[in-house]
Amino acid sequence: MILCLIVTAGCGSSTTAQFKTGYAAAVPPLNRTLMAVTETFAHDKGKSVSQIARSFGDLADRFGKELAPLEALKPPASVAPDFATLTSSLNRVERDLRGPSVAVKHRDVLGVALALESLPSDAGAAADASAAIAEKLDHK
């Protein structure tokens, strides 16, 4: 479930170079948070539903703050569709992370698990889009 966002060096227009620089800066914090999500899944045994929900809520807050710089980037036309897919997928990941907190507030214990059900596929879609972006930027 770790999102592997790859940034490549290369030539290109100044717009492309600016995008690559911004992309390279925005990606590592998101990757660290996604690694923390994986660790949270691995270490949630023995915790209460409320504790688990709070952990994911905290990760969602962190992820949302880290996502903002990526969303502020203006991608070159060659990667714009993939970038739109990436940011859309990452927004769904953030929503997935917020789901357990919302479920706990509504006293919906089953909802906590269901809220996280689509997280792997949303993170996978983001990883696929990121790989497509990296490939296109590598050929610039």
Bigger pLDDT: 5 or 136? 136
**In this structure, is residue 8 part of a structural domain?**
no
Query: Which domain does 28 fall in, by range?
Result: 14-138
Cα 40 from Cα 34, distance rounded (Å): 10
**In this structure, is residue 35 part of a structural domain?**
yes
pTM above 0.85, yes or no: no
**In this structure, is residue 3 part of a structural domain?**
no
pLDDT in tens, 22-56: 998 998 999 899 899 888 877 777 788 788 888 88
pLDDT in tens, 110-133: 777 777 888 889 999 999 999 999
Confidence of residue 13 (pLDDT cuts 50, 70, 90): low
Crossing angle of helices 80-105 and 49-71, rounded to 10°: 150
**In this structure, is residue 68 part of a structural domain?**
yes
Confidence at residue 51, expressed as pLDDT on a 0 to 100 scale: 84
Residue of 113, 105, 2, 98 whose CA lies nearest to 56:
98
Bigger pLDDT: 5 or 72? 72
Cα 47 from Cα 96, distance rounded (Å): 19
**In this structure, is residue 7 part of a structural domain?**
no
**In this structure, is residue 6 part of a structural domain?**
no
**In this structure, is residue 110 part of a structural domain?**
yes
**In this structure, is residue 2 part of a structural domain?**
no
Confidence at residue 8, expressed as pLDDT on a 0 to 100 scale: 41
Cα 121 from Cα 93, distance rounded (Å): 9
How many domains does the chain fold into?
A: 1
